[in-house]
């Protein structure tokens, strides 16, 4: 009877230790995953900023071109269209 209780105690202790070990492994993976997600977020933010800056400069260039065309139309003598 003592051997059965001892065996049960060893099994219970092993099970409890396994749960603590598994919990620590899960926590370590969580920390690693949080770091990877943060790094990916930083890369994505940098990429979005680069695309936004490029888009802004393209819009500015297009605006300048349209303004230039408007100025040419305003300077057109007589303000009428020529027949074709």
Task: Give the separation between CA 84 and CA 78, rounded to whole angstroms.
Answer: 16
Specify the residue for token string 């020529």: 82
pTM of the model: 0.55
The pLDDT, as a whole number, for residue 77 is: 74
Q: How many helices (H) and strands (E) does the chain have?
A: 1, 0
Specify the residue for token string 């819009």: 59
Question: How does pLDDT run across 34-52, given as a tens digit for each residue?
Answer: 999 999 999 999 999 999 9
Rounded to the nearest integer, the mean pLDDT of the chain is: 90
Domains in the chain: boundaries:
2-74
Question: How does pLDDT run across 2-46, given as a tens digit for each residue?
Answer: 999 999 999 999 999 999 999 999 999 999 999 999 999 999 999
């Amino acid at each position: 009877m003592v051997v059965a209780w001892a065996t049960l105690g060893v099994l219970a202790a092993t099970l409890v230790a396994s749960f603590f070990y598994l919990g620590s492994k899960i926590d370590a993976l969580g920390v690693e995953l949080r770091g990877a997600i943060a790094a990916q977020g930083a890369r994505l933010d940098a990429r979005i900023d680069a695309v936004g800056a490029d888009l802004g400069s393209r819009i500015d260039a297009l605006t300048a071109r349209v303004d230039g065309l408007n100025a040419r139309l305003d300077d057109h003598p007589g303000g009428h269209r020529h027949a074709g």
